[in-house]
Structure 1
C-alpha cells in the first residue's frame, strides 16, 4: 500500500510540472503537446501503482484498473509524435538539406499522426480484453520479501510489444531531425527530449521483467520530468531574453509630422496618375516588349503604393504591421523590381537560395524596399572599367538569427565611410540626397535587426543584414 502510494505521488510530479508550464506559457502549442505527453507518463505510473495494491483491492479490480491506466503508455507513441510534429512542422521550417526537408514532412504529418492515434486506440481496446491482458498474478521481487501483482498477457500481447517498440523508432527519428535544425535552442531542446525519452524507454523495459519489480520506471520518470521541464523553461527563457535584447536595440523611425504626411499624400496622388496611364497603355495595342515595360511600371508603382500606405499607417499609429513572411520571396521580388537598374548598368544578380523557406515576422513592403535599395546602390557602384559586374545575395541561419549577405564586385567603400554611409544626407552621388541607406538602416532596426558593412575594397563590398528568426512560442 505504501509503495503504491509512493509510486502514485511520483506519477503526479510530471503532470503538476506540465500544468505549471501550461499556465506560464499559455497559448503555446508546444507547451500543450508537452502537457499531454507528461499526462500520459502520469497515467503510466498510476498503471504501475495499482500492481502494489495487494490486499487492498481484489485481483479483478486491480486487473481492470491496470487495463484502464494503460491508456498512458499506449498513447505515449502518438503523443511523442505530436510533440515532434509541433516542433518540426510549425516551428522549424529552416533546414538546410532540401531532400531531408522533404523526407521529414513525408513522415511527420497529420496523416501519420491520425494513423498512430487510430492504431493506438486498437491496441488499447485489445488490451482491455483477455486477448491483451488475461489477469494478474502474484510475483516476488528478486532478493526481496516484497510481493506484487504482475500482469498475465494474452495471445495478442505481441501487438502491444510491437507498438511499444515503435516509440524507440520515433525517438531515433526525432534525434536525427534535431541535428538538422538551425535554431540552436530548438535543436538542443529536441535533442534533450530524445535522450531523456530514450532513458525513459530503457527504464520502462525493465517493467516487463517480473523479478525486477516495477519501480525502475518511477526513477526514470523523476529524471525525465525534471530535465525536460528545465530544458523547456530554459528554451523559452533564452528566446524571451533574446527577444528583449532585440527590442532594446529597436529604434523608432523619426516622425516627419504633417510635412511628411502631406508629402505622402501628394506622391499618392501622382502615383494614381501613373497607375491609371500605365493600365491604359497595357490595354492598348503595343508591341510585346513595350507591354513588358508597362507591366514593370505597374509592379514598381504597386510597390510604391504599398510602401506609402505602410508609411501612412506608421505616421498615424507610430507602429509597423508585421506578419509571417518568406524572405526568399521578398528577395526574389526585389530583384525583379530592380531589373531595369540592373539592365541599365549591365549587372547580374545571383541569389543563393539555401533554404526552401526562410520565415520571419516582418513587413514585406518595407523589406522589399530595403533589398531594392541595396540592389540599386550596388548596381550603381561599378566603374566603367570593371568587367565582372555581379551582385551575390546569400542567406544563413545561426542560432536564432537570420543573416542576409549582399556582396558585389564594385569599386568599394573607403573604410572610414563604412558607418557614415547610413547617416542621413551622406552620399557620393551628385544627384543623390543620401536618404536611401539611412532608410534601410532604420527599417532593419525597426525589425529588431542590424545592418553593417563587413568588408569593402577595390574588389567589392560585403554588406550583412541580421534579422531575428521568428519565435515559435507566445511572448
Structure 2
C-alpha cells in the first residue's frame, strides 16, 4: 500500500509537468501547480503511515514533514481564488489562510498537535495532542474552500483550464470529505487513502481529456496551414530578396537623414525606418515560423496594439480611430500589427479616393474564450461580393494591388489560432464588415 501511495504521489508531479506544457505559467496555473504539490506531499505523509518497519520516532518525524502538504492546501486554494477574482475580500482570505496555515504547521511539529504514532493493524495512526481541535477546524475550512473556488471559476477565460480547475475542486471536495473521516471517529487510515486515490484518478482523467482537446486543436491548425497553398508567394527565397531590398532602402534613407536636418524630412525618414524595422521583424518571425513550425504567442493588450500601429504610421488629422472596449488576447504581436496595418492602410486609401475623412471604429467584444474585434470605417461597409473576393489570390480591385493583402491577413490570423472573417454588420443587415477573432488571455 505504501509503494502504491508513493507512486501516486509522484504521478501528481508528472501531472504538473503535463499541465505546464498545456497551459504554461501564469498566476492561476502556478497556484494550481502549488495545490498539486501540496496534494503530492500529503499523499507522501499517508505512505509514511504504512511503513511500520520504520521506528515510531522516525515515522513521526517524516509524517510531520510531509503532512505540511495537507496544511498548505488552504493557502493554495485561497491563491487560486485570488488569481481568479482579485479584490479586498480575496486578498484578506489569502492572508488569513496563510497565517492560519503557518499556525497549524507550527502546532503540527509539537506534541500539542501530534502526540505520537501508534500501530493499528498494519499501519501507524496518529494520536493527536491537546490542540487537535485546531487541526480539525482547519480541515473543515479546507473542505469549504473548494466551494468558494467553484463559485467563481467561471470567470476563467480558458475553457480547458476552467474545466480542469472545476474537476480539481470537485475532486478535492470529495476526497477531502472522505479523508476527514480519519480525524472524526474511528475509521482508521483507509478513508484517507481512498479519498486521495479518488482525487488523483479524477485529476488524471481530466488532464487526459483537456490534453486531448488541446492536441486536436493544434492538429487541426497545423493541418490547415499545411493544406493551404495560397501563400506560397512567401517562400524563403522571396523573403530573402525582400530583406535585401529593405536593407537598400534603409541605407538610402539613412543618407537622407544625415543630409537633411529639417523637421519634416526627419519625420518622414523616421517613419520609413520604423516601417523597415517592422518589415525586418515580420520577415524574421515568418522565417522562423517556416523553419521551425512554431510561432511566439503572448498575452497583449488589444487597445495598446491598435494605438501603436496608428501612432507609428497613421497619426494625422486625416485619419481618426475610435476604440470601444478592450481585451487581453493571445497573439503574435508582429503578425497582429501587420494585420491591423493592412486594414488601416486599406481604409485610408479608400478614403482618399472618395475624398472623405477616414474614421475607423474598432469595437471589441468578449466572451468566455474569445475577443471579437469588429472594424467599421467611414467608407461604408464592404461590397456584397467582397466576402469571397478577398480570398481569391491575385484578384484585386486596386490598380496597383496584387490582391494578397487581406488574404495574407487572414493567414496571419490563422497562424495565431485566430480568425479573419467578413460578417454582417448586424443581425438584420447584409452589409459586410471585417471581424478579427483571437483567444482571450487568462
TM-score (norm 1): 0.71
Is 1:71 paired with 2:71? no
SS in 1 for 2:323: strand
Q: Offset of 1:107 from its aligned partner?
A: 7.4
Is 1:202 paired with 2:173? no
Q: 2:245 aligns with which of 266, 278, 281?
A: 266
Cα pair 2:324 2:363 within 8 Å, conserved: yes
Whole-angstrom distance in 1 between the partners of 2:93 and 2:207:
21
Q: Gapped runs of 5+ residues in structure 2?
A: none
Q: Offset of 1:163 from its aligned partner?
A: 4.2
1:134 corresponds in structure 2 to 115
CA separation of 1:127 and 1:313: change in aligned 2, threshold 3 A: closer
Higher relative contact order (CA 8 A, sep 6+): 1
CA separation of 1:249 and 1:376: change in aligned 2, threshold 3 A: same
Whole-angstrom distance in 2 between the partners of 1:318 and 1:108:
48
Q: Offset of 1:418 from its aligned partner?
A: 0.8
Q: 1:372 aligns with which of 341, 358, 369?
A: 341
Cα pair 1:74 1:123 within 8 Å, conserved: no
Is 1:359 paired with 2:330? yes
Whole-angstrom distance in 1 between the partners of 2:276 and 2:76:
43
**Per-residue Cα deviation, 1:165-194 (whole angstroms, up to 9, x for no partner):** 453454344334422011111111101111
Is 1:463 paired with 2:437? no
SS in 2 for 1:343: coil
Whole-angstrom distance in 1 between the partners of 2:258 and 2:155:
48
Whole-angstrom distance in 1 between the partners of 2:306 and 2:358:
22
Is 1:331 paired with 2:315? no
CA RMSD of aligned residues (A): 4.4
Whole-angstrom distance in 2 between the partners of 1:257 and 1:219:
58
Cα pair 1:247 1:448 within 8 Å, conserved: no
CA separation of 1:65 and 1:296: change in aligned 2, threshold 3 A: farther
SS in 2 for 1:465: strand
Cα pair 2:6 2:43 within 8 Å, conserved: yes
CA separation of 1:468 and 1:438: change in aligned 2, threshold 3 A: same
**Per-residue Cα deviation, 1:311-339 (whole angstroms, up to 9, x for no partner):** 26746984475253515232221232343
Q: Gapped runs of 5+ residues in structure 1?
A: 90-94, 140-145
Structure 1 segment 374-389 matched on structure 2, within 5 A:
374-381=343-350, 389=359
Cα pair 2:253 2:272 within 8 Å, conserved: no
Whole-angstrom distance in 1 between the partners of 2:56 and 2:364:
63
SS in 1 for 2:317: helix
Aligned residues: 425
Cα pair 2:424 2:432 within 8 Å, conserved: yes
2:191 corresponds in structure 1 to 216
SS in 1 for 2:186: helix
